[in-house]
Amino acid sequence: MITTTDLVELNITEPELYAIAIRNLTAYFAANELKVHRLEKTGTANVYVVSLDQTYEASLLLLDSYWDRPGFEVAGSPVAFVPARNIVLVTGTADTEGVRIATYLANQWFTELGYAISPKGYVYQSGTWVPYQP
């Protein structure tokens, strides 16, 4: 953990620290195998679960390189649910059933799993994540 005092003592700005963190995360994700699995038994809905190492999955939202290119076969813009640090669900804004399933799972896992983050969905728009409003 780095405090504001540490930044001053190290003569590093917050944007510089952010850039270092993104480089480190990018290298970590490249060195470890990120897996994307489509949930089964969802009918025609496309809901994906991302797995990496059971610790840094939620950090995927910080890496624009995964969201600025095709990768998730979703209808509309990607919607990510991060109920806990080790769970990322992805569906699309135009996939009504996918959003319903992901919302249900995110709400359930948010209350059941450790290291909870949020039961809400976030949509990727123009390089940023905003709360999803169906």
Mean pLDDT of 29-53: 90
Claim to verify: residue 123 and residue 58 sit in the same structural domain: yes
The answer for residues whose C-beta is within 8 angstroms of residue 29's C-beta and 6 or more apart is: 52, 56, 59, 60, 63, 66
Q: What is the DSSP string of 72-98?
A: S--SSSEEEEEEETTEEEEEETT-HHH
Strands 35-38 and 78-84, sheet pairing: unpaired
Claim to verify: residue 22 and residue 40 sit in the same structural domain: no
Give the per-residue pLDDT at 45.
92
The dihedral of CA 96, 40, 104, 129: what is its sign?
negative
Claim to verify: residue 27 and residue 37 sit in the same structural domain: no
Claim to verify: residue 12 and residue 68 sit in the same structural domain: no
Structure confidence by residue, pLDDT tens digits, 9-18: 999 999 999 9
What rounded mean pLDDT belongs to the chain? 91
Instruction: Give, as one character, the DSSP assignment of residue 44.
Output: T
> Whole-prediction pTM value?
0.87
Give the per-residue pLDDT at 68.
64
Structure confidence by residue, pLDDT tens digits, 68-97: 666 678 888 999 999 999 999 999 999 999
Please state the separation of Cα 133 from the chain's center in Å: 17
Mean pLDDT of 16-29: 94
Claim to verify: residue 26 and residue 37 sit in the same structural domain: no
> What total of structural domains would you count in the chain?
2
Host domain of residue 7: 1-31
Looking at the predicted structure, is the pLDDT value of residue 102 above 90?
yes
Query: How many CB atoms neighbour CB 112 within 10 A?
Result: 10
Quote the tokens at residue 25: 């995360």
